[in-house]
Amino acid sequence: MEIVQQIIFAAVLGTVGWLVFKRIKIIRSTISLGKSEDRTDQPGKRFSTMMRIAFGQKKMFDRPLIGILHFAVYAGFLLINVEVLEIVLDGLLGKHRLFAPMLGSFYRFLIGFFEFLAVGVLLACIIFLIRRTILKTERLQPSRHREMNGWPALDGKVILIFEIVLMIAILTMNAADIVLQEMGSAHYTITGDFIFSKFLKPLFTGWNETTLIIYERFAWWTHILGIFAFAIYVTYSKHLHIVLAFPNTYFARLIPKGEMQNMPEITKEVKIMLGLENAPEGAENAVPDRFGAKDVTDLSWKNLMDAYSCTECGRCTSACPANITGKKLSPRKIMMDTRDRLEDIGRIMQVNDGKFVEDGKSLMGDYISQEEILACTTCNACVQECPILINPLDIILQLRRHQVMDESKAPGSWNAMFQNMETNQAPWKFSPGDRFNWAEGVK
Does 366 lie in the same domain as 303? Answer: yes
Class of residue 382 by CB neighbours under 10 A (exposed 0-12, middle 13-18, buried 19+)? buried
Give CA–CA dist 298/132, Å, rounded. Answer: 36
The secondary element (H helix, E strand) that includes residue 125 is: helix 105-133
CA 432 to chain centre: 48
Residue 180 lies in a domain: yes
Does 165 lie in the same domain as 50? Answer: yes
Does 224 lie in the same domain as 370? Answer: no
| CA torsion angle 408 366 294 31 (round to 10) | 170
Residue 279 lies in a domain: no
Query: How many structural domains does the chain have?
Result: 2
Residue 284 lies in a domain: no
> What are the CA-CA distances from residue 247 to residues 12, 111, 306, 323 (Å)?
29, 31, 10, 29
Give me the sign of the Cα torsion angle 383, 386, 391, 395: negative
> pTM of the entire structure?
0.88
Does 298 lie in the same domain as 217? Answer: no
Per-residue pLDDT of the chain (443 residues; tens, 9 = 90+): 578 888 889 999 999 999 999 999 999 999 999 999 999 999 999 999 999 999 998 999 988 888 888 888 888 877 777 778 888 888 888 888 888 888 888 998 989 999 999 999 999 999 999 999 999 889 998 888 999 998 898 998 999 999 999 999 999 999 999 999 888 876 788 888 899 999 999 999 889 999 999 999 999 999 999 999 999 999 999 889 989 999 999 999 998 888 888 877 778 777 877 778 777 765 555 566 788 899 999 999 999 999 999 999 999 999 999 999 999 999 999 999 999 999 999 999 999 988 899 899 999 999 999 999 999 999 999 999 999 999 999 999 999 999 998 888 888 888 888 888 888 878 887 777 777 777 787 76
Angle at 328 between CA 128 and CA 337, to 5 degrees: 65
Give CA–CA dist 137/135, Å, rounded. Answer: 6
Print burial letters for 208-243: b (CB count within 10 Å at least 16), e (below 16). eeeebbebbeebbbbbbebbbebbbbbbebbbbbbe
- Give the residue from 395, 391, 394, 386 showing the smallest Cα distance to 54: 386
Residue-range definition of the domain harbouring residue 414 = 289-424
Does 68 lie in the same domain as 210? Answer: yes
Does 205 lie in the same domain as 75? Answer: yes
Class of residue 264 by CB neighbours under 10 A (exposed 0-12, middle 13-18, buried 19+)? exposed
Residue 8 lies in a domain: yes
Residue 437 lies in a domain: no
Residue 253 lies in a domain: no
